[in-house]
Amino acid sequence: MADRSILITGCSSGIGYCAAVGMRARGWRVFAACRKPDDCARLKAEGFESPLIDYTDEATINAGLAEVLEATGGTLDALFNNGAHGTPGAVEDLPTDALRAIFEANFFGWHHLTRAAIPVMRQQGHGRIIQCSSVLGFITLPWRGAYNATKYALEGLTDTLRLEMRDTPIHVSLIEPGPVTSKIRQNSIPHFERWVDWRGSARRAEYESGLNTRLYEDRGPDRFELPATAVLEKLIHACEAPRPQPRYYVTTPTHIMGALRRVLPTRALDWVLSRG
């Protein structure tokens, strides 16, 4: 794998950082992108090549990919789109600009980078595009409407891309984790505080007794939570297997919800999901 390169986004912590460390250990040349200069500097100190890529800033996407291609002589074997955040809150309390902002970070930026990588992979005659989606890309949970929406959109676009790439040597896969150890909850707090007026909401009591407690109190790991290495295992297969899978479920809840979605009528599934 020494001559193979992978660009991984969102590497400051969690899934992205674990993926960068794990893929480097397997001999891949890892470009561990972050959206903050300080995080890039920290990873460079650890020996990584770490381009600055902020999904909300197309200039950094273009410059970051150009940096990778200059370093590799114009090739890129795999792209792992990973960086994302949540904007918790009831759908009725989400300003439209909040949705625009999260789609920039969780969807439009991913699309821009993916489109830029495809011509490179076409020219070299192979490539892997792996998207880190979520169990919330095919089922929904209350209070996560903005995040649900970006992951549903990602799944639809990625499924379409996979169909369109069937006549090319470019493989496209989705990884769909359930609860995995990361900082997504903590990283969601600034977006919640920026956009959601929960004190003025008709659901204020529900925020106080539910969502706010989950966001601000450290209650330890979620039930069935797995370490980020569980995602790394799927990423390795998606990058190295001769026939990568179109979808990779990660964690017990993802498998359970995938099965329930297939067998339960909508109202019954709604009842299950409404219980959190």
* Residues belonging to the active site: 147
Cβ of 60: how many Cβ atoms within 10 Å? 17
CA 252, 87, 110, 139: dihedral to nearest 10 degrees? Answer: 40
Distance CA 224, CA 217 (A): 19
Is residue 182 within 8 A of residue 13, CB to CB? The reply is: yes
Which residues fall within 8 angstroms of residue 12, CB to CB, at 6 or more apart? 34, 35, 36, 39, 42, 43
Distances (CA, A) of 208 to 89, 199, 202: 12, 9, 12
